């Protein structure tokens, strides 16, 4: 019997390439991933480099862009996907299985795992339990490194550089993982100035502020005042699901809304970004403005996630 069984492919002994947060991204790696994404976007890459490989996407929180773009990226690279889009209910988590056990099991079936989880630090825990690369799709109010990469890609593509820029990050900076990760990555490039625009209670956490040594940082709650000197305005959603009560969330909902009128204050050369989904922060009438870059930004997620999967599982 024994020799009729086919052994599973041997696992390599090199440590897996995890991407759990911005600290896994050195400047050379960021530059490599941005260059690779551009190659994928141009269609110049080798065909199907991940043929025969399997990606598992485990999402314990809702997602549209991140999950679909990772899955589309994997298919476009010639690989295949196993997906739990509602892992909290549809996996054995509902029976009380620990994240570590689930990851150990999925590690035995797939060649890499993309994980989104509501707890800060969950992706790092998963990486410690996994034998295959674990890539963050967002951990609660912690970080979202591939979103930050696609944001860098978008800024570079739209404005031609990633240095000596004035970038306003606006909204719920306390809970918004995309702004937290983007601030850290932008601070690695010279001469950038970050203007943190938020209500005082929703300020950027000191864990991030303390790591922004390379960048000049200003904080304000005045969007209209800050907007006139920006190269990029990065709007974010007030993160309803991170507040203790709906009443508390309601206090901040609608605090900064981009309208056609407010857009008049944004310089002509600047761009308006948003990780999406929007929950009223940008009036749909703004979409027709050529500076509204958020749908182009979402599309760029595909190229960046192709580059990340190819790096994690490929060569």
Residue 95 annotated among the catalytic residues of the structure: yes
Rg (CA), the chain: 20
Instruction: Write down the least CB distance from residue 146 to ligand ASP, Å.
Output: 10
- 3-class state of residue 69 by DSSP: helix
Of 117, 157, 174, 177, the one binding ligand ASP by CB under 6 A? 177
53 near ligand ASP (CB under 6 A): no
Instruction: Write down the least CB distance from residue 176 to ligand ASP, Å.
Output: 6
Residue 66 annotated among the catalytic residues of the structure: yes
Task: Tell me, residue by residue from 89 to 128, as one string, x for binding to ligand ASP by CB under 6 A and - for no binding.
Answer: ----------------------------------------
- Cα(63)–Cα(189) distance, integer angstroms: 30
User: What is the footprint of ligand ASP within residues 221-240 (CB under 6 A)?
Assistant: 237
For residues 295 and 287, the answer to whether their CB atoms sit within 8 Å is: yes
User: What is the footprint of ligand ASP within residues 125-164 (CB under 6 A)?
Assistant: 138, 144
Residue whose C-alpha is closest to residue 185's, from 215, 229, 140: 215
Residue 178 annotated among the catalytic residues of the structure: no
Catalytic residue among 18, 125, 144, 166: 144
178 near ligand ASP (CB under 6 A): yes
Handedness of CA 200, 147, 61, 211 (dihedral sign): negative
DSSP 8-state secondary structure symbol assigned to residue 6: P
The angle that helices 122-129 and 99-107 make with each other, rounded to 10 degrees, is: 50
Structure-token pair, residue 225: 């005042």
Positions marked active-site: 65-66, 95, 116, 144
Query: Which stretches of the chain bind ligand ASP, using CB under 6 A?
Result: 138, 144, 177-178, 237, 275
């Amino acid at each position: 019997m024994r020799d009729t069984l086919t052994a599973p492919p041997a696992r390599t002994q090199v440590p897996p390439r995890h991407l759990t947060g911005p600290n896994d991204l050195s400047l050379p790696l960021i530059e490599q991933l941005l260059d690779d994404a551009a190659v994928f976007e141009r269609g110049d890459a080798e065909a199907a480099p991940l043929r025969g490989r399997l990606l598992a996407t485990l999402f314990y929180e809702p997602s549209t862009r991140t999950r679909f773009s990772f899955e589309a990226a994997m298919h476009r690279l010639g690989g295949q996907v196993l997906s739990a889009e509602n892992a909290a209910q549809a996996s054995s988590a509902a029976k009380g299985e620990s994240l570590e056990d689930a990851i150990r099991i999925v590690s035995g079936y797939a060649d890499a795992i993309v994980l989104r989880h509501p707890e800060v630090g969950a992706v790092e825990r998963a990486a410690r339990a996994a034998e295959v690369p674990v890539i963050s799709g967002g951990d609660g109010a912690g970080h979202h490194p591939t979103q930050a990469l696609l944001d860098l890609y978008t800024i570079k593509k739209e404005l031609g550089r990633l240095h000596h820029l004035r970038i306003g990050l606006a909204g719920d900076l306390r809970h918004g993982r995309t702004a937290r990760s983007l601030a850290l990555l932008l601070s690695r490039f010279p001469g950038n100035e970050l203007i943190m625009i938020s209500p005082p209670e929703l300020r950027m956490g000191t864990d991030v502020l303390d790591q922004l040594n390379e960048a000049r940082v200003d904080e304000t709650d005045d969007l209209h005042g800050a907007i006139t000197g920006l190269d990029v305005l990065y709007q974010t959603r007030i993160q309803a699901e991170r507040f203790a009560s709906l009443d508390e969330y309601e206090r901040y909902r609608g605090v900064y809304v981009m309208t056609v009128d407010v857009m008049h204050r944004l310089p002509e050369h600047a761009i308006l970004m948003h990780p999406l989904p929007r929950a009223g922060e940008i009036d749909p009438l703004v979409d027709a403005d050529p500076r509204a870059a958020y749908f182009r930004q979402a599309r760029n997620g595909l190229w960046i996630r192709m580059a990340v999967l190819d790096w994690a599982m490929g060569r």
